[in-house]
Structure 1
Amino acid sequence: MLPVRTAPQPGQCIQDWLEHLAALNAMSSGQLTSLITQDAGPLRFLSIKPTGRVVARVAELAGVSGAVVRSATVERFDGTGLVELRDLDPEHWSTWRRVAARGWIRATGSAACPQCLADDGFWQLQWRLPSTTVCTRHGCYLVEQCPACGRRLLDHPHTALRPAPGTRCLNPLPGYGHCDADLSALHPQRAHDACITRQTRHDIALCGAAPAVLGSPCTPSSYLLDVWALTVLLLALASTPGGAGLAGWREDLLTESARRKTTPTERGPAGSHPIGQHGPVRWSVHPPTSPTTRSRALATAEAIITNEHLDEAAAALHPWIMAAPTTTDSRLGWLADRTRMTPTLTRLCMTALAPHQRISHALRASPLVVDIDRIPQAVPEPVYQRHAAHLFRTRGETPRHFLALCLVRHHDPTLTWAAAADILGVPPQHGTNTARAISTRNPLAARDLDRALRCIVSDLHEDRCHLEDLVHEKAQHPDWFLPWSSAQRPGTRKSSLPYAVTWLWCHVAGGLLSTSPGWPDPPDRPARTAYRQFEAALSPQAATSLASITNT
């Protein structure tokens, strides 16, 4: 054992710990390295996954357990979804290729928070993860490049340890010497609130707790893997010519990709090259070197993944997917070639590619001035026949309700199908189901639908909210029913009152059969059949008389 022994600080990386351990024993880092290697062999992959002999020797010198030594290496995060080291044999350098090919991991280098270095004076292990981009303690982006030498921090590939501990860079310089820049004196950039929130959830997931993904509970490893996979996909889509305007960090991404040299390890599938570069960058292997760009991309992906509703998350992803170039391969195949398609990401992409999501995008792209008070639950049948009946194969009130939902979303493009239904007084899930049913059975062209909606708006003149209130009033005070039925339909039973109220609700107020105030609960199949019989048996004269009831 060494004369002075100490365990690593919570979260301290093994290299910084050993450098401090050498200084406490009045040794140079080279002397401590010799003490370890003379019995344990080379310190290959010291910060990632050291050999068992190295772990035992360091534990013996420092007077700690082997588990404590491994907790100061990246192996601590193995199996979290961000790091997979199962194929790495630290005795053989060639096995590193299998780990590096999975992406977002480096054998050397680290990021750092200058303020943390100034406060504590030690380097944290989590800074070595590319997914760690923000210091939640100080609310700033991490620094990954030394402004003096221009290299990544802790980039000393030929030596396991730096010459001395501390806050200086100490990267080797060409020829002789080391960079003497004091990193604790740097002024990091203030992080966006979304990036801080994303980093907080990331850190909690590393500790064993994860937020819900698309409204469903998940394991921390699947959450971290889903966010990583979607981030890689967004980076690839933002790099395409069609990615203009998708994100504020796109220009920084293109600037960095233009600076990168195209090497065989960075080449990707044909058609994926970023703008301004002769060859593509595989973002799944080599993430953006700027912590700011990387953090904003991660925050964008995390906001989509953690949405409570699948449809809303798919609607947010849909504009991104539309940026994928058109090739001989399917769009889903193009996406799968550029990231790891986890089950969650596959479900999200397939939902985003669904026809009703394309319609959602078209509604957001062409807003229309609509008076929300004039929109009924279902477009009136005469208006529907004049302007939109030729667009639909589906019969009944479903296409008329779908058109009403489209008008509400034209009024407020940020709404979802469920939210639009709620505004119309319909159960939210009914709106989502209607959009799916229409888009599945009817090949709608966005241009034709937009033209029909604009014509429909010009034909909606009555205040439907006022008409709905009148029908509710007639349902609560049915003293009009017996005089009307005696004059227009002799022999009509009093039990037919719900059908008359429902007729007013559907034909005068433009409401849906299921939401009629004529019955306290949604009608079952026999009730619907009985109403249809009442509706079919109503003569034109009786229908005109019944419609005039709302004017009295």
Structure 2
Amino acid sequence: MTQMSPISRATIFKKLSVSSLARPAHGATPLHRHSDLLPIVLAPAAGESGVGFLLRVASTNGISVHKLRQLAGMTEAETFTAKHEDRLLALVGLAGSWPSRLLPQRISGGGVTCYGHRFRVRTMLRFRRPQFCPTCIRETQVCAAHWDLSLSVACLHHGCFLQDLCPSCRTQIRWNRPSVEWGHCKHILGGAAVSEDISQDLRAVQKITEDLLNHQAPDFSPVGLSCPGLSLDAWCSFLWALGLIETPDSPPRRTVITRAPSSLNARTVVVRSITRLRASVESGRGLSDLAHVVAEAPLAGTILDPANECDRAICLNWYESIFGERQAASLVRRHRALSQMSLF
């Protein structure tokens, strides 16, 4: 019997290893066709994160995210953005056949577009600080798109808060990891659902956030608001405005504004905004009670650079209700574009 050389055995073992790793994970959508570079072709699942999809493509094909970057001609320091999207989708035979909005596209003024939405500031998205629901990961091995929103804080399906730390070692998770369900710390990220105390108000706010992301008309009435036509960007700006300031009349911490928050900090901001909004509704005086705890910048920024005219009109109304007619009129006078509009 001819003895197999060590090189042959190693080559065969490598091929078998890649083959076993390159099986479609649960929830994947194989297209039963092959590209020139990657053997297994997947399509994004409904509601899947763009970067999460790329992680799933890499792990299903038995390669690292670092290798996927190399194949797309990217450097290790580059983040996945829309300018790389065609090259990345070409690796799985989807170039030109999939809507080009899975990854963030930088726009003038410092904002981004992604998932069909315009975000005035990049910190609305957390592409450098991923978060997850352990039970979703265990059940589907798919990252949800709403996890990419800085102020998306809960999984409504499993009734738990999103997290950005490994359940075992508490290390902050990364996109550069072996797979959706395994952390770079070599611990499994998926786990059983843990029932947590998520208030009805928080559930309502999370549902509004997800409906807006999915281009569905949300119901604002559970939180005492009526704002048809409001964009996702304006809604998140409103939550930032109500929840950024920790104590009355104190400035928000600069790091909270200039970088995506941790999952815990995001939850704190959202809970704080809900508490203040609920108090204003129950007092009967509306938003006028909140001037000393509302950050002006997110509202003013949306008024001056809105995603649509509904955003401008609604945020102007909120701004006047919170800070008063005089301060709202002063804002209009300072900006020529606003002076052409009727505030009242």
The bucket for the TM-score relative to the shorter chain is 0.5 to 0.7
Q: 1:110 to 1:28 in 2, by over 3 A?
A: closer
Superposition pairs for residues 80-119 of structure 1, below 5 Å? 80=117, 83-84=119-120, 99-100=121-122, 103-119=123-139
- 1:321 matched to 2:291? The reply is yes
Q: Is the 8 A contact 2:52 2:142 kept in 1?
A: yes
Question: What's the counterpart of residue 351 of structure 1?
Answer: 321
Give deviations 1:166-207, integer Å, cap 9, x for gaps: 41221xxxxxxxx12222136543422211111112211222
Question: What's the counterpart of residue 254 of structure 2?
Answer: 281
- Alignment match of 1:50 (pick from 82, 85, 88): 82
Superposition pairs for residues 68-467 of structure 1, below 5 Å? 68=98, 70-75=100-105, 77=114, 80=117, 83-84=119-120, 99-100=121-122, 103-154=123-174, 161-162=176-177, 164-170=178-184, 179-185=185-191, 188=194, 189-208=196-215, 209-211=217-219, 218-221=228-231, 224-240=232-248, 272-273=250-251, 280-281=253-254, 283-286=256-259, 288-289=261-262, 290=264, 291-300=266-275, 315-322=285-292, 336-337=296-297, 339-340=299-300, 342=303, 343-352=313-322
Q: 1:301 to 1:281 in 2, by over 3 A?
A: same
For residue 210 of structure 1, report the CA deviation from its aligned partner: 3.6
Q: Is the 8 A contact 2:238 2:298 kept in 1?
A: no
For residue 115 of structure 1, report the CA deviation from its aligned partner: 0.9
Q: 1:67 to 1:44 in 2, by over 3 A?
A: farther
Higher helix share: 1
- Partners of 1:228 and 1:313 in 2: CA distance: 24
Give deviations 1:118-156, integer Å, cap 9, x for gaps: 1101222321111211111112111122354544322x6
- Partners of 1:236 and 1:61 in 2: CA distance: 42
- Partners of 2:319 and 2:293 in 1: CA distance: 13
- Partners of 1:353 and 1:17 in 2: CA distance: 43
Which residue identity lines up with residue 133 of structure 2 in the other structure? C
Which residue identity lines up with residue 269 of structure 2 in the other structure? R
Q: Is the 8 A contact 1:167 1:184 kept in 2?
A: yes
Partner SS, residue 183 of structure 1 = coil
Q: 1:340 to 1:144 in 2, by over 3 A?
A: farther
Q: Is the 8 A contact 2:288 2:324 kept in 1?
A: no
Which residue identity lines up with residue 268 of structure 2 in the other structure? T
Q: Is the 8 A contact 2:55 2:65 kept in 1?
A: yes
Q: Is the 8 A contact 2:137 2:181 kept in 1?
A: yes
- Alignment match of 1:5 (pick from 35, 38, 41): 41
Which residue identity lines up with residue 235 of structure 1 in the other structure? G
Q: 1:135 to 1:184 in 2, by over 3 A?
A: same
- Partners of 2:244 and 2:57 in 1: CA distance: 44
For residue 7 of structure 1, report the CA deviation from its aligned partner: 1.2
Question: What's the counterpart of residue 71 of structure 2?
Answer: 35
- Partners of 1:232 and 1:55 in 2: CA distance: 30
- 1:63 matched to 2:93? The reply is yes
For residue 225 of structure 1, report the CA deviation from its aligned partner: 3.6
- Partners of 1:35 and 1:134 in 2: CA distance: 35
Q: 1:134 to 1:301 in 2, by over 3 A?
A: farther
Q: 1:286 to 1:30 in 2, by over 3 A?
A: closer
- Partners of 1:20 and 1:336 in 2: CA distance: 40
- Partners of 2:179 and 2:317 in 1: CA distance: 48
For residue 229 of structure 1, report the CA deviation from its aligned partner: 2.8
Q: How many aligned positions are there? A: 266
Unaligned runs of 5+ in 1: 85-98, 171-178, 243-271, 275-279, 325-334, 356-552
Question: TM-score, normalised to structure 2's length?
Answer: 0.63
Question: TM-score, normalised to structure 1's length?
Answer: 0.41
Q: 1:13 to 1:350 in 2, by over 3 A?
A: closer
Q: Is the 8 A contact 1:284 1:339 kept in 2?
A: no
Q: 1:24 to 1:50 in 2, by over 3 A?
A: same
For residue 60 of structure 1, report the CA deviation from its aligned partner: 2.2
For residue 286 of structure 1, report the CA deviation from its aligned partner: 4.2
Partner SS, residue 72 of structure 1 = coil
Across the aligned residues of Structure 1 and Structure 2, the Cα RMSD in angstroms comes to 3.7
Q: Is the 8 A contact 2:201 2:274 kept in 1?
A: yes
- Partners of 1:27 and 1:190 in 2: CA distance: 39
Which residue identity lines up with residue 181 of structure 1 in the other structure? H
Q: 1:71 to 1:226 in 2, by over 3 A?
A: closer
Q: Is the 8 A contact 2:245 2:251 kept in 1?
A: no
Unaligned runs of 5+ in 2: 1-34, 106-112, 304-312, 326-344
Q: In terms of mean alpha carbon deviation, does 3-12 or 296-305 score higher?
A: 296-305
For residue 113 of structure 1, report the CA deviation from its aligned partner: 0.6
Question: What's the counterpart of residue 333 of structure 2?
Answer: none
Superposition pairs for residues 481-492 of structure 1, below 5 Å? none
- Partners of 1:5 and 1:21 in 2: CA distance: 8
Which residue identity lines up with residue 126 of structure 1 in the other structure? H
For residue 217 of structure 1, report the CA deviation from its aligned partner: 5.1
Structure number with larger C-alpha Rg: 1
Partner SS, residue 340 of structure 1 = helix
Q: Is the 8 A contact 1:104 1:284 kept in 2?
A: no
Partner SS, residue 68 of structure 1 = coil
- Partners of 1:191 and 1:288 in 2: CA distance: 20
